[in-house]
């Protein structure tokens, strides 16, 4: 199974990856849009760049691919082909550049560096996780969790 491309976030001037964070999903549930997977590492069919500024969550960049079905004679059949169309932020939010995510309430977990602790890449450990809780797009709680595991190379741990 291919690891999925995470959403990206800028928080306090640093770029982070979102861990299981898809804040746009709550908005998309109210829309009638069917995304086309972009690649094996992006089955959701889109990616976004988010900025947390003045304790508010903004979507500042978006790229995705949607399906446009070719329907003839008012009949729909799964056998009918469809086109794939690339879309940008302007498609979802016309004439907006920084979209305040007022629809989003929930937690976003941010990570910056991944440390693989075994040679078979089974154990992924994060040095630090930042848990941010939002209510209607406004940051209401922040928690930083630091991992107490040793991140020294194995050969240094024995000295």
User: What pLDDT shows up at residue 155?
Assistant: 47
pTM of the model: 0.79
Average pLDDT over residues 77-94: 81
Q: Partners of 151 in the beta sheet?
A: none
Q: List the single range of 39-43, 66-70, 127-131, 143-147 with lowest mean pLDDT.
A: 66-70
- Tens digits of per-residue pLDDT, 20-39? 889 999 998 888 888 888 88
Structure tokens at 141: 């709680």
Structure tokens at 56: 């508010």
Query: Is the per-residue pLDDT at 105 higher than 90?
Result: yes
Q: What HEC string does the chain produce?
A: CCCCCCCEEEECCEEEEEECCCCHHHHHCCCCCCECCCCCCCCCCEEEEEEEECCEEEEEEEEEEEEEECCECCECCCCCCEEEEEEEHHHHCCCCCCEECCCCCEEEEEECCEEECCCCCCCEEECEEEEEEEECCEEEEEEEEECCCCCCCHHHHCC
- Compute, in degrees rounded to 10, the torsion defined by CA atoms 91, 95, 100, 104: -20
Structure tokens at 130: 């930042």
User: What pLDDT shows up at residue 158?
Assistant: 47
């Amino acid at each position: 199974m291919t690891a999925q491309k995470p959403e990206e976030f800028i928080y306090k001037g640093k770029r982070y990856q979102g861990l299981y964070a898809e804040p746009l999903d709550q908005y998309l549930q109210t829309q009638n849009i069917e995304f086309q997977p972009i690649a094996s590492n992006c089955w959701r069919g889109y990616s976004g760049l988010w900025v947390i500024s003045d304790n508010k969550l903004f979507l500042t960049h978006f790229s995705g691919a949607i399906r446009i079905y070719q329907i003839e004679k008012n009949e729909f059949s799964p056998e009918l082909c469809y086109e794939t169309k690339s879309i940008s932020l302007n498609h979802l939010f016309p004439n907006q550049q920084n979209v305040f995510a007022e629809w989003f309430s929930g937690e976003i977990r941010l990570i910056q560096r991944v440390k693989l602790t075994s040679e078979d890449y089974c154990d992924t450990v994060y040095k630090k996780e930042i848990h941010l809780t939002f209510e209607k797009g406004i940051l209401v709680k922040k928690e930083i969790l630091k991992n107490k595991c040793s991140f020294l190379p194995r050969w240094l741990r024995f000295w």
